[in-house]
Chain A
Amino acid sequence: MAAVTVAVIRFGGSNCDRDAVRALEHLGIDAEIVWHEDGLPADPSGVVIPGGFSYGDYLRAGAMAARSPVMAEVHEVAAAGTPVLGVCNGAQIGSESGLTPGAFTTNRSARFQCEHVHCRVERADTPFTRAFDDGEVVALPIAHGEGRFEVEDDRYGDLVDEDRILFRYCDADGEVTDAANPNGSKGNVAGVLGERESVAVLMPHPERATLPDLHAGTDGQGLLRAFA
């Protein structure tokens, strides 16, 4: 049977779930919110782990939701090739659950930061970036307190070698500089790939840069078209 619906998982404390559904529907992509305790629908066409503050960020951001039963299902569909995207708290959940490498922890500023940033597309041959060119600069909003990407130095080298860095924070000209790094992320990493290129997490919010009326640009559309 044809898969038709993107499952946007809602945990207690998710707050970008409706935004994600609305952004996807704006692109003509069928999507529905799925309460985590209900599990994934059969054969979803994709999975979005949305932003928010699941479980109040207890212990560490994403730590609790990462250990909920629905994440075992997400790992299964991800391994089978279904596109899976974690955004912001969804990125924290994804990394905490081992879906993607590294960790997202306290911003260098020790503050919650709500800003518009630029990101450079590090590889354009993934479902999430095929709308872009290699090296293209996209404008996306961030809103997080724990978005600093950390990973062991040797593991970081592996990620670079394996071409698993998806986005890096950069300036408007595409230069990856410390000044353009909003949160102190290692290597300015804003988003990384999982074991497969159909699994990705990022701290910026594509769903907040999809509806033209929001005046945050529409670069997020390119990412969400992974689910079309």
Chain B
Amino acid sequence: MTAYTAVVTVRLKHGVLDPEAERTQEALERLGFDLADLRSADRFEVDLDAESAEAAADRADEMAERLLANPTIHDYTVEVEER
């Protein structure tokens, strides 16, 4: 078994309104920053032991499918690295 950290990044699907990101962008602009757009995402770092990087990724993928993301509104990515 090898120790891995799986990074699961959950973001809204393209085209789904993100009111919190819009307000954050407005606040940045109020502070004088110049920006074209802003998107937010949730990042989960999952420490786990697995037989292989693939097995770690599979398990993190299932975590995203079953809880961390809501497939109706979210896309997600999984990246695995040795810890």
A interface, over-half SS:
loop
Task: Pick the most buried of A105, A148, A155: most chain B CB atoms within 10 A of its CB.
Answer: A105
Chain A residues with CB under 8 Å of B16's CB are: 105, 150
Chain A residues with CB under 8 Å of B67's CB are: 59, 63, 67
Partner of B19, one of A101, A103, A106: A106
B82 within 8 A of A: no
A123 within 8 A of B: no
Chain A residues with CB under 8 Å of B18's CB are: 106
B29 within 8 A of A: no
A77 within 8 A of B: no
Whole-angstrom distance from the CB of B75 to the nearest CB of chain A? 12
Distance of A60 Cα from B69 Cα, bound (Å): 9
Q: Which of under 10, 10 to 19, 20 to 34, or 35 or more describes the interface residues of B? A: 10 to 19
Distance of A110 Cα from B23 Cα, bound (Å): 8
Given A110-B19, A110-B22; A151-B70 close (CB under 8 Å): no
Chain B residues with CB under 8 Å of A60's CB are: 70
A184 within 8 A of B: yes
Partner of B70, one of A63, A101, A106, A155: A63
Distance of A30 Cα from B80 Cα, bound (Å): 53
Contact B19 A150 (CB under 8 A): no
Whole-angstrom distance from the CB of B70 to the nearest CB of chain A? 5
Q: Which of under 10, 10 to 19, 20 to 34, or 35 or more describes the interface residues of A? A: 20 to 34
Contact A108 B17 (CB under 8 A): yes
Contact B72 A152 (CB under 8 A): yes
Chain A residues with CB under 8 Å of B66's CB are: 67
Contact A148 B70 (CB under 8 A): no
Task: Pick the most buried of A67, A109, A152, A155: most chain B CB atoms within 10 A of its CB.
Answer: A152
B73 within 8 A of A: yes
Contact A151 B20 (CB under 8 A): no
Contact A103 B17 (CB under 8 A): no
Interface residues of B (CB under 8 A from A): 16-20, 22-23, 66-68, 70, 72-73
* 11 A-B residue pairings within 8 Å (CB atoms): A59-B67, A59-B68, A102-B72, A103-B70, A106-B18, A106-B20, A108-B17, A110-B20, A110-B22, A155-B72, A184-B19
